[in-house]
Structure formats: C-alpha cells, structure tokens
Structure 1
Amino acid sequence: MRQYKWNQFTLNKRLLLFISILMLISTTTLGFSGYAIAKQQLDEKGETILKNSVKMARMIISTKYDQVLSGQIEEQDAIEELKETLSGVMQKDGTRKLHHLVDLGKNGYFMIYDLDGNEVMHPMLEGQNVLDVRDVYDDGFYLVKDQIKKGLSGGGFTHYSWAYPHSSEIGKKVTYSEYDGNWRWIIIASAYTSDFNQGAYGIIKVILVVSFVLLAIGIIGSIMFVVRITKPIGQVFNGMKAVEMGVYASIDAETAKDEIGMLTSGYNQMVSAINEAKTHLDEQAKHIRYLAFYDELSGLPNRNQLKEEVNSRLTNMDFIGTLVQIDVVDFKMINSTIGYENGNTILQQIGRALSNILGDVQYVARMSGNEFCIWTEGLKPEAIETMLVTLKIFIKKQLLQIDIIQGIEFYCVLVNYPAHGDTFEALYNKTSIAMKYAKVAKSFHVIPYDAIMEESFEKEMQMRKYLKMAIEQGEITIAYQNKVDSSTKEVVGVEALARWHSPTLGAVSPVVFIPAIQKTNSTIEFGCYILRKVLGDYTGLQKKFHDEITVSINISPLFFMEKSFVSRVEEGIKKFNVPANKIILEITEDILIDDLDYILSVIDELRRMGVKISLDDFGTRYSSLNYLKSLKIDELKIDKSFVDQILTDEKAFQMFKFVCNIAAVYHYDIIAEGVETIEQLEKITEAGVRIIQGYLFSRPEAL
C-alpha cells in the first residue's frame, strides 16, 4: 500500500484538507456542545416545573385538609377529589387516565405514597405497596425509598430508569418529592427527561445535517474563503459563549447559500428552538403561578388569593367587614343527575353572575367545589342581607336561561370583622361552622354566625370521640319497630334501629350520631357491628313474633360499596343460621350517585342468595323515578315526609297514589313509614297500601 507524506501534498490540497478537518472538528464540537447546553437548560427548567408542581399540589392538599378539619367535606370525599384533580377519574379497570392539572409532559403524572410505600394515588399502581421497587437497570437502587427519604428531608430529585406508561420501552425519569404532614404523604411530580428536552433532540438533528453538508461542501472550498469562513465561525463561537450565560441571541445570517450560510442558519435555528422551548417552560411556570391563586374553571380568585387580599385589607381597616360563604345545596346529587360537564357549567355561571352583579365593590372567590366566598366592607347587616337575596334571585334567573336545571337552592352564611375574628383564617373558620349549622338545619335563609353554633360544634366533636369508643365497647343497642299488615293487624316484619345511651353523654339521638359515624370514618366498622348484632337477634325475634318474621337492616352507601360487603352478609347468615329470604337490606337513593353498574351487580349477588332489597326514604331526592326501571329490588318504602302531606295536600296524595301504582307495575312490595294517626292510615289504605310502619302501631322497642 502506497504511503503518503505531508510534504507530498500541494499547498491547495493541504489547505483544503486543513479546512475540511477544521470544519469537521468545529461543527461537531459546536453541535454537540450546543446540544449539551440546550439539554441542560431544558432539564433544569423541567426540574423547576416538577418542583413548582409539587408545591402547588401541596397547597391544594392543604386546602382540602382544612375543609375536612372544619367539617365541610368528608375525608374520603376530599381524598377522592384530590385524586381526580391531580391524576384523573378512576376507571373501571382500577387505573386513572393521565390527567395533567399542569403540563408535566406527555408521559408525566403525579404520585402520592404513604410512609410505608403504599401507592395512595397513581395512574396504574394505586393501592399497591411499592416500597421495594428498584431501578430497571440498577438492581441496587430502591427508588421509592429514595423518594420517601428525600421527601422527609425537605424535598429532592430522584433520577432512575422506568418504563413509559402503557409501554415496555424504558426511559430516563426524574421525580421531585416533598413530605406533606397533613395526611403524612409523600407528594411526587414525575416526568421523563425526553419530554422536557425533546427540543434538544431537534437541535442535534439540525446540527448533524448541517455538519454533513458543511463537510461535503468544505472539501471543495478554496483558500480565498478562509477569512470569510473564520468570521462567522467566530460569531457562532461567541454566540455559544452567550448561550452558556443564558443569552439566546441570533447572529447575522449569511445571505449566501453556501456552508457558511448554512452554519449561521443552523446556529440561528438552534437558538430559535431553545428560545421556543424556554418560552414554553416559562408559560408553564406562569400557569402554575396562576393556578396557585386563581380557580381555572370559574376564573375567580381562589382561597389563597382571597386570604392574601383579606389579610392585607385587615391591617389598615377601621370599619366593619363581612365574609359571606355560599354553597349550592346537594351539588353532588345535582352532578350525578345532570352530569359533571353541566355541573361545571353551573359553577361557571354562578361565578360569572357573582362577578357581574357585585362588580369591583366586593371581592369574590371560588374556594373549592361548590363553595364561593364574598368579602365586603362598610355595609350594614340589612344591606348585606338585601344584597344576598338579590344575588340569589339573579343567579337563579341566569341558570334558568341556560336551561340545565330547575329549582336550585343555596346555603348562605356570614361573619363580621372584627366581632368574629381579626384574621382571614379566624373569620373563615367561623363561616365553616355557620355553614355546617345551615346544612344541618336545611335553611336557605341568610344565616349569621352565632357563638352557640361553635359550642354545638365542639359538643359534636366531643360526641364523635365517645362514639368511636361506643362502637368498640358495644354501647350501641338495637330497637325494633314493627311493620304491620293493616288488614289483619299481624306483625309481618321489623326494622332494626340503632340506639345509643352513652354513660357520659346520656341518650344520643340517631339523627345526631348516625351522621357523626360517617364523619369519623367508622361507617364500615359500625355497619359490621349492626349486621352481626341484628343477625344474632333473629332467633329471639322468631320467639317473640313467629318463624316467618322478616328483619330490615339499614345499610349505608359506603358499607354497601365496600368490596367485601356481600361476603360479610353471607358469612353472617351462615354463622347465625338465618334464612336469607327473611333479611331485607334497606338502601337509600344516595347510593345511586356512585357506580350504578357495580351497585346493580351487588344487588344481583344478594338476591341470588335470597336476600331482599328495599329502597328506603323514597321520594326525598332529585330523581327517584329514573332508577326504578333499572333496579331489581323487592320493596319500596315511602318516606314519612311524604306521608305527612297526604291529609292536607291533595296533590301530595295523588303523587302518593302514583308512586303506589308504579310499585305495583314493577311488582314491588310497598310500605308507608311514619304513620301516626287513624286518618293517615285510612288515606293510605285508600291508595292500596297494606304494610304500615309507625307510632300508630308501635314504637321501636328493645328485644
């Protein structure tokens, strides 16, 4: 093979070879350094987005936790709302769609662990323990433990390899973790680095193409272009130095369509791509800041913004201020009836109406869900009440115009500064107490806060403490109320009713302690206790009445939806040797706002066992008739509130007969509750109802 020495080449060849080598080295170096810088900048912006996203999520969690503490929302409802807000609605297969409250990239999502590594929230792994999960490529790296450790240490980033969602492809992933002490959770925002630095890959492609073209063209260059070549390269070099300092400026483009023009054009394309990616990330950061202080659905300020605004006004305020809270009555039921999209439209219309009628005089905010607040200053109580009445009428008219719902109502409460508090938190806590009072009283009038409400609230908190002990220690007893065939006066069945006589509090009404059980997260424990107690009493009921006696047990929606509910019923039937067809489980319409297909499957399982199903409190909700054609039940119980009206309201009686006719069409047994007078009995009998329950025949009695 022939060997060439350097001095054998002509000067032209040497220059051409030198220029070619120089261009190859410089363009490759500039290309890859540009890619590295761009990738680093985009990665840093991506990590900033993750960190800000976690902090925003913690603010949302803190707000929900405050609502739980103040009694505005149940803990389980609050947690599920958080999951839907941060991740998405639970699908039938147990997963959640990737739902980005903020832009975490194509494959990014939020996660929540408890300190034991259980997935509290995850699009694919919710409910699983992942404490010992390791990096796909590094078997010695326990990534969940690292996230928990960094979250407990004040926050930090974790880098590892993991599969893309719904794919076997592995990618590099980065997460940011922080600890939230409210529910003792580790809050995590995650993303794949490829989502953040996608722009950098475009840059390297451009540079590689440009480098190839430059190399090919540079070979045929000549020495006369050396000066012209070195000048733009110097510009590119200086431009790259500026990029390192965070300045993304274009350079003067060469008009010639040669390699120099392509070099400067390629550099300008790189800078443009970086600027575009940076602008996008800046917009994301701006959007996160917006979400921290404004409600995206209504466009109104949120709780954080209202808090800052009110506290700033209070520092220099020497006159009366008023904080008003407005809630839509039964909004959860409305959502289930008309759909969540229409529900959101209602909230948007309410927010728009509040802004339009109040203008700049008052400060309006959407706190969460169906709750709105108004801050006003210097108005007398009668002026405020007039304003709120006018406001409610205006909102109702606005909602009628969009023709989504009829007959919407509002709870409305208010507190005054400085009489009821000198900070926003103090005032807001008082409105929460007043709102709880309004909901219990089912009052649609404007209700001002009163200290008596807080005393009542404190008593309820005390009662909840003793209630958990009562369930554990068996203080809850069962009283049975007879169901009588009015034609024969025979007792055909009984309904089991819980009673509580506390050694500390005395006799506590079921109207008080049953709702409190739901608020203490003891519903399932209480339901199991009552189920065992009643089934254990059945032999005694047969001895007291007769062998064919039926017993009705009230089942809460939460207990009914519990995965092991059917097996618990079956286990109790076998343990106490109770005929399944003598058990009637009473459910209310509230249960129907959840997964109807799942509810129907549970009802089918129970009826196959022989257990009967009764729809209780019929006629007290929004859409009772909608469900009758779908439900396979055995019994329909007409609520006392319906029965109370049939003597004085002919329309109510005609509706009563209409319901009885519907029950007959579907072959349901029908029972009238709360019958207390002979006149009521005669009227009910006229409608064809035979089975009666109420004080006319018997009060609830212990076995």
Structure 2
Amino acid sequence: MLKNNTIAIPAEMLTSWQTTVDLIAKVAKVPASLIMKLHTHELEVFVANNNTNSPFAAGMKDSLGHGLYCESVIVQQTKLHVENALEDPKWCTNPALAVGMMSYYGLPLNWPDGEPFGTICMLDIKANSYSGDLMMLMECFRRCIEGNLEMLAQKEKLAQANLHLETSIAQRTFELEKLNSDLMQEIDSRIAAEKLLDIQQRFDSVTGLPKFNQLEKVFNKLIAKNELTSISIIHFSITNLKRIQDGFGYDISDKVRNTVVQKLQLFTNNSTYLAIFSETTFCIIIPTKKQQYANKMAVFCSRLCQQFSQDIYVDELSLSITTAMGVAFYPNDGSGFMDLSRKSSAALSNCEMGNNNSYKFFNPKMESELSSRIKMESLLRAALQRDELSLHYQPFVNTQSQSVVGAEVLIRWHNPILGQVSPVDFIEIAEHSGQIIEIGYFVLRSALKQLAYWREIYNQDFYLAINLSPVQLKDSYLVDKIVNLLELYKIPGHLLEIELTENALIHDAAYAQEVLSKLHRKGIRLSLDDFGTGYSSLSYLQYYPFNSIKIDRSFIHNLETSEQSRQLVNTIIAMANNLQLSLVAEGVENQFQADFVAKQGANIWQGYYLGKPVDANAFAQQYLIPSMTPLF
C-alpha cells in the first residue's frame, strides 16, 4: 500500500518541479525530461517538460509489469543508464522505443521513510552517453525533489498530530525547524546547480579551456596596467581538423584538440592567456613590452610552427596536422578587444591554408582583400546556377604532323558585376571554400559531353586535358565519377588526360599514388604540369604513372635569349624521350621557339603561336573541320 502517494503536491511545488524538468531538457538538449509517479498498478507521467517534440504529457499512464525503464529504477532502487536500447538485448523491446526514445537516464525518487514516489529521468531519440556533468545535475535535482517530499511528509505528520492532539507545541516547533532546514538544503542544492550551469557556460567541456567570451575581461584588465604597452591577439587554427574528424570520427578529433591544447600550454606562462574560439580555433593573449614586440611574436609563432610540423600520436595513430595563425597587436591595430579579435581572424584567413603551419600579422590591406574575397566567393556560389561559367579550349599541335591532336580545357567566368574574372583569382577562392569540387565536376561533365559531340560530328579521335586541383584529388568519389562520365558519353579512357601540378602531390603522397594508379588502370592519361619548377619533379616521374610532362612556359619564354634555358629544355626533352614520356612545350609564342623544341624532340606544341583558348564553336570552326590542313 502506497500511503504517502496520497499526499497532494501543492501548486507552487509543481511549478518548481516543472521548472526543474524544463531546465534539465534544455541543458541536456533532449526532447523529454520527466518526473514519474508510482501507483499500485501503474506509472503516471506526473510532470513533463514543455517541449513540442516530446511524446509525453502530464497525466499519461502505463501499466506495470512489461519492462518499463522507470519500473526497473524503482524496483532496483538505483540509477539506470541505457545508452542505446536498440543495441541492448535487455531493453531492445522496451515500450519507449515505440515513441522513438532510444536512450534513457533515470534516478529513483523516494519519500523520507523509503517508500517509492517514482523517478526523475530524461530520454533521447538518439544514442546518448550523458556526460558526467549532466549526471551530477540530475543528482542535484533528485535531492531537491526528495527534500520537497520530505517537507510534505513532515507537514502531513504535523497535520495528523494536530488532528489527533498527539503532538505538543515543542514537537511542532521542532518540526518547523526541520522544515526550515529542509528549505535551506533545497536552496543550497539549487545554488549548486546554478554554479554547474555557470561553469558549462564559461568553460569548454572537451578541452577544459575558458571560452572566448571570457577573454575580453582579461584584455581590459591588462590594458589597465600602465607598464604594459603592447598586447598580441593570436588566432590559432587546426586547419585540417575537419578532415581528421571525417576520417577517424569525433572521439579522435577531440583527442587531437586536447593534444594541441597541451602543446600550446607548453608555450604559455602566467602572463599568457589561452581560450577556445571555436571547434577548430583557439585564441591566445600575450602581453609584451613595446620594444621589438613584432620580432618577439615572429619568434613565438615560428617556434609554434616548428612544434606542429611534427606528427602527433593519438590512440597509436600517427597524425599530421596543419595549422595557421593570425596576429593583431594592441594598440597598433586597434584599441578594443573585439576589433582586434576580428583583425586577428582576418590575418588568419589570409594565411595559406594549404601550407603546413603558417602565420601572418594583420595589415589594413587584409580587410579590403578579405571583403573582396567574401564578395567574390558569394558571387561564385551562384555562378553555376546563373550559367556564368564556360569552357575554352586551347589546341595541342603535333610537332611532326603539325595537326591538332587534342586541347587543354580552360574554365572562364564572366560575372555581370565583376566582369571577366581571371581563373588565377577565383580558382584559389573556390579551393579554400570547397566550391572547387562542384566546379571541377562541371568542367569534367561539360568537357566530356562536348568531346562526345565532336567525335560524333567530325569523326576524329583527339584528347582533352583537364586540370585537377589538390582539393579535387582528395575527393573520395573522384575516380568513380570520372569513370561514370566516360561510360556515359562512350569515351575511351585514353582520350582524357588529367593534368596535375606538384602542389596536388606534395601533402599526401600515398593517397595521391593510390588515386592516380586507379585512373591509370582505367586507361586515363596523366600529365605532370609546370615540370621543372618544383623541388621534386624528377622523383614524381619515378613514383607516379605519368604519361606525359609539360615544360613550364618560363623555360620556353627565354629560349631566344638564354643559353641556360636552351640547355635545360634540351635536357628535359631528352630525359622525357628516354623515359618514353610524351612531352608538351607550353607557352610557344613564335616560330623560333616552335622550331627549337621540335628539333630537340618535343611531341606537342601549345601556345598562342599555335592558337589561343577559344570557345567550343570557334574551336570547331578553326581546328575540327574534316578537310583541315596542317597549321604550318
């Protein structure tokens, strides 16, 4: 017999309980937080959080005896944590799954004499491990509610005592003091809960670092000290954390963040302040004397770059991370913290994100450049939908037959606001924003469709060369999409050539080799562009399955005036011939250059002397008519 559960709960106490479950649902970010009440044969949803997404409402009841979470908590008189009922044989048929609740955490609620009242619990529609902080918060609220129950029980005892004249005035005084003590305990519990919430608002739960909003007070205190004349604001970013997260999961990426924090803390002292700005970025405040502050920061940033140039180890994984830093100085760059933080972030955005461990100091030009880049990025996002992108084709001419054997595909962008935008300007922005993936597929799809049309109309087999950026090479769907497009347009693999620069190969050689080997096995031609300008061009010819190389135009440009250029070109052509690689001389602008490279054994001419990039219609008119005679 549940004698205590007949005691009525006052309206003001119900309001307090309602606030409690609403707060739990908000802090825990779950759809349902409940106080359940036990009856003889059933459980009742006594208080439910106000959430339209919750399937529970006050007054709902369910009979006992068929595997309810809360019934188990009451019977066992201990907490119950079900992280994922679908994967737990004991709970995989639990009735809560019928309304989408996959996870559960609950605690028993008892009257002061040990009689069960019910439970306090929270449920989620997804698997949830519920953090230690949330469990502590639930325990605080459990004690508050049981304190309320004890107060009600004591009041009921007093009422019964008065009713039967079994209690003296002294006893009633004692009970009132006890009630006052219970009330004070409830207040203390609420204060403890509020402090926990305050900690969560001020500190990051993964790294334990202060959050960014705490730094402005620190900055204002520092500038109030007369002896300090310069303060450095540094934004430090892990630029490849998203890729690590995608490849290894959230747990590993969180451990990477913690490892980075530990390394950063090695460079801090009592006068240096470190906080978290976002998931990938940290903010550092360093007060310094005015003398040589820029030089000191350059040394500091260089040391950080060196520190993060080495792989880090997480769960026996060796991971390479890339970082970037932006720095702004008080008072040179501004007087307010938020203004300086914005400028430090602008300097961070101007770093070369593709390079390992770089840093930049803010200068006023960065703001205008960043504004222009943001504007261009915004316009570029709509360029495909507005049909502003187009393809041009520059011919490849065989040095022996002097006829067109192929063409390089070049993208062009004409925007109504910006006019004709150079690929040099917008390709880099597309790479940084990730839009290069979508633009790259537009180029591949449009070029291969055009090639299929030309093959059908003119009955000529010639190849197209398409440039691939480093970002595209990292796309896991790249090979499949290229192969699917070739099959769709019925184009043999050897009529497509993929051009890559050294930048596309330098960061992850093993992955690049895997991708290029797959393309090579499909019969797709591979070309190393700008040969001779990088540090490792020769080694790439040994490591990757290239079919051809392109001599950089800078060597061709100086052929008439530089004996050294002539010797270099002659050596590169001879090497290509020995390795049985096709060689393209790009940037041919006059007859002397054309004759020289042809005599030395180059296979293909490319340059304005042979033909400028033109649109598809002009290219067909100039080069693809069946009766076309040699260009020379």
Fold shared by both chains (TM-score > 0.5): yes
- Correspondence list, 1:242-281, <5 A: 243=151
Shift of 1:279: 11
Q: Distance in 2 between matches of 1:351 and 1:479?
A: 48
Equivalent residue, structure 1, for 2:288: 378
Corresponding residue to 1:634 among 519, 523, 535: 523
Shift of 1:430: 0.9
Q: Distance in 2 between matches of 1:454 and 1:246?
A: 68
Equivalent residue, structure 1, for 2:43: none
Corresponding residue to 1:670 among 532, 547, 558: 547
Q: Distance in 1 between matches of 2:98 and 2:221?
A: 42
Equivalent residue, structure 1, for 2:301: 388
Equivalent residue, structure 2, for 1:701: 613
Shift of 1:634: 3.5
Mapped pair 1:157 → 2:51? yes
Equivalent residue, structure 2, for 1:226: none
Shift of 1:438: 1.4
Equivalent residue, structure 2, for 1:95: none
Q: Distance in 1 between matches of 2:516 and 2:258?
A: 32
Report percent identity of matched pairs.
17
Counterpart AA for 1:657: L
Q: Distance in 2 between matches of 1:278 and 1:546?
A: 88
Q: Distance in 1 between matches of 2:319 and 2:438?
A: 39
Corresponding residue to 2:371 among 458, 461, 479: 458
Equivalent residue, structure 2, for 1:550: 463
Corresponding residue to 2:115 among 199, 207, 217: 207
Distance 1:529 1:340, change over 3 A: closer
After superposition, what is the alpha-carbon deviation per residue over 1:582-627, rounded to whole angstroms, capped at 9, x for unaligned?
xxxxx932203xxxxx666656644654454866535233132344
Mapped pair 1:300 → 2:192? no
Distance 1:417 1:511, change over 3 A: same
Q: Distance in 2 between matches of 1:497 and 1:402?
A: 45
Q: Report which of the two has the higher share of helix.
A: 1
Mapped contact 1:420–1:427 kept (Cα < 8 A)? yes
Q: Distance in 2 between matches of 1:682 and 1:38?
A: 91
Equivalent residue, structure 1, for 2:274: 364
Counterpart AA for 2:542: F
Distance 1:355 1:396, change over 3 A: same
Mapped contact 1:327–1:370 kept (Cα < 8 A)? yes
Mapped pair 1:430 → 2:343? yes
After superposition, what is the alpha-carbon deviation per residue over 1:93-131, rounded to whole angstroms, capped at 9, x for unaligned?
xxxxxxx9xx9889xxxxxxxxxxxxxxxxxxxxxxxxx
Mapped contact 1:482–1:693 kept (Cα < 8 A)? no
After superposition, what is the alpha-carbon deviation per residue over 1:546-565, rounded to whole angstroms, capped at 9, x for unaligned?
611233556889xxxxxxxx
Mapped contact 1:495–1:553 kept (Cα < 8 A)? yes
Shift of 1:301: 2.2
Mapped pair 1:688 → 2:572? no
Q: Distance in 2 between matches of 1:692 and 1:512?
A: 25
SS of the equivalent of 1:48 reads helix
Q: How many residues align?
A: 467
Shift of 1:348: 2.1
Structure 1: gaps of 5 or more residues: 1-23, 55-99, 107-154, 175-189, 210-237, 248-274, 558-586, 593-597, 664-668
Q: Distance in 2 between matches of 1:330 and 1:295?
A: 20
Q: Distance in 2 between matches of 1:276 and 1:589?
A: 63
- Correspondence list, 1:518-533, <5 A: 530=443
Equivalent residue, structure 1, for 2:3: 28
Q: Distance in 1 between matches of 2:148 and 2:246?
A: 58
TM-score relative to the length of structure 2: 0.58
Shift of 1:670: 2.7
Distance 1:531 1:397, change over 3 A: closer
- Correspondence list, 1:580-659, <5 A: 588-592=472-476, 602=481, 605-606=484-485, 608-609=487-488, 610=490, 612=493, 617=500, 618-622=504-508, 623-627=511-515, 633-635=522-524, 637-640=526-529, 643-645=532-534, 652-653=537-538, 655-659=539-543
Higher normalized contact order (CA 8 Å, seq sep 6+, divided by chain length): 1
Mapped contact 2:388–2:413 kept (Cα < 8 A)? yes
Q: Distance in 2 between matches of 1:496 and 1:378?
A: 53
Distance 1:544 1:241, change over 3 A: closer
Counterpart AA for 1:690: S
Shift of 1:479: 1.8
Shift of 1:156: 6.4
After superposition, what is the alpha-carbon deviation per residue over 1:258-307, rounded to whole angstroms, capped at 9, x for unaligned?
xxxxxxxxxxxxxxxxx999999998876654443323333322323334
Counterpart AA for 1:672: I
Structure 2: gaps of 5 or more residues: 35-48, 58-83, 87-91, 118-145, 156-183, 556-568, 589-604, 620-632
SS of the equivalent of 2:275 reads strand
Counterpart AA for 1:28: K
Mapped contact 1:325–1:435 kept (Cα < 8 A)? yes
Mapped pair 1:410 → 2:323? yes
SS of the equivalent of 1:588 reads helix
Q: Distance in 1 between matches of 2:458 and 2:246?
A: 42
Mapped contact 1:162–1:173 kept (Cα < 8 A)? no
Q: Distance in 1 between matches of 2:98 and 2:10?
A: 19
Q: Distance in 2 between matches of 1:633 and 1:316?
A: 68
SS of the equivalent of 1:548 reads coil
Distance 1:538 1:659, change over 3 A: same
Mapped contact 2:414–2:421 kept (Cα < 8 A)? yes
Cα RMSD over matched residues? 5.4
Q: Distance in 1 between matches of 2:522 and 2:187?
A: 60
